[in-house]
Amino acid sequence: MQITRKHIFRINDMNLITVLNECIIGHKRRMKKVCLEVPAFLGDGCVIEARNVGAYFSVGNNSIIKRTAKIGRYTTIGAFCNIGATSVEHNIYFSNSVVFQKGELPWCALKIKMDENNKIETKLREDIEIGNDVWIGDNVIVLEGSLIGDGCIILPGTVVKGNVEPYSIVEGNPAKVIGKRFDEEIIRKMQEIKWWEYSEKNLNFIQKNTDNILQIFDEILNIKDKQKFTPVRLEFNSAVNEITLCGKENLLLYKI
């Protein structure tokens, strides 16, 4: 689904998703449906092919996100990133091996006639998962099949392949862990509390009490009126170019 100009999707004067300028959400063949929690900010020229995207998501200009199953809440992706880049396969004999693969490839089917027994089995592309509270800098490449844990920081220009442990700080090509955001006790508390699951009211409490982070966690765990975050989800359907509000009954909001 292509959005060709700056647009702010609203419900009853409440901003849901801000699109800075032209962007593409979903794909008619690869990923027909994309579900975004709101609010979200999408930069100019970005491509979003992620099945589920959490609330308070932000992506910079000209970033491409493909082959992604999930992006968590409060995650920021910088500009000119390539999430879902294809890895190089090392078990092939020819650089343009696509013409020798099994499967429907109508554009090359008439060029080369090969015995089915000699064709190479196509390898299924592996999806990416990105956790909550992740910061990804500009010009980062994340190769297919990677898993980035909660709270990670990926420094600009990094190339990620494989799994990144929660709250790691990684840098370089290939990516290497250069540190952790917090010490092990705080990381354990972070993973226990999962603050991104709480309402904005509880998060305001965190902002007002930032002197002793461990004390904050203890107090949050003991809050009597803890409230879970209630997500509002929009579904972008590229097959019919419709945007619906997900719920007990899907409500059609926009027809692109």
Rg (CA), the chain: 21
- What pLDDT is stored for residue 1 in this prediction? 86
Q: How many CB atoms lie within 10 A of CB 245?
A: 18
- Structural domains of the chain sorted by starting position, each given as residue range(s) with its CATH number in brackets: 1-86+127-181+231-256 (2.160.10.10), 88-124 (no CATH), 182-229 (no CATH)
Token couple for 158: 């990094």
Q: What is the pLDDT of residues 103-136, one digit of tens each?
A: 555 555 555 555 666 555 656 667 999 999 999 9
Q: How far is CA 233 from the centre of its chain?
A: 15
Q: Find the helix or strand (DSSP H, E) in which 191 lies.
A: helix 184-193
The tens digit of pLDDT for each residue in 203-249 reads 776 655 556 666 766 666 676 667 888 899 999 999 999 999 887 66
- In the numeric block, the tokens 């990926």 are attached to 154
pLDDT tens per residue across span 151-184: 999 999 999 999 999 999 999 999 999 999 998 9
Tens of pLDDT, residue by residue over 59-86, are: 999 999 999 999 999 999 999 999 998 8
90 carries an active-site annotation:
yes
Catalytic residue among 29, 90, 224, 228: 90
The residue with tokens 């013409």 is 99
pTM: predicted TM-score of the whole model, two decimal places: 0.84
- Cα(152)–Cα(175) distance, integer angstroms: 12
pLDDT at 149 exceeding the cut of 70: yes
C-beta of residue 35 within 8 angstroms of C-beta of residue 233: yes
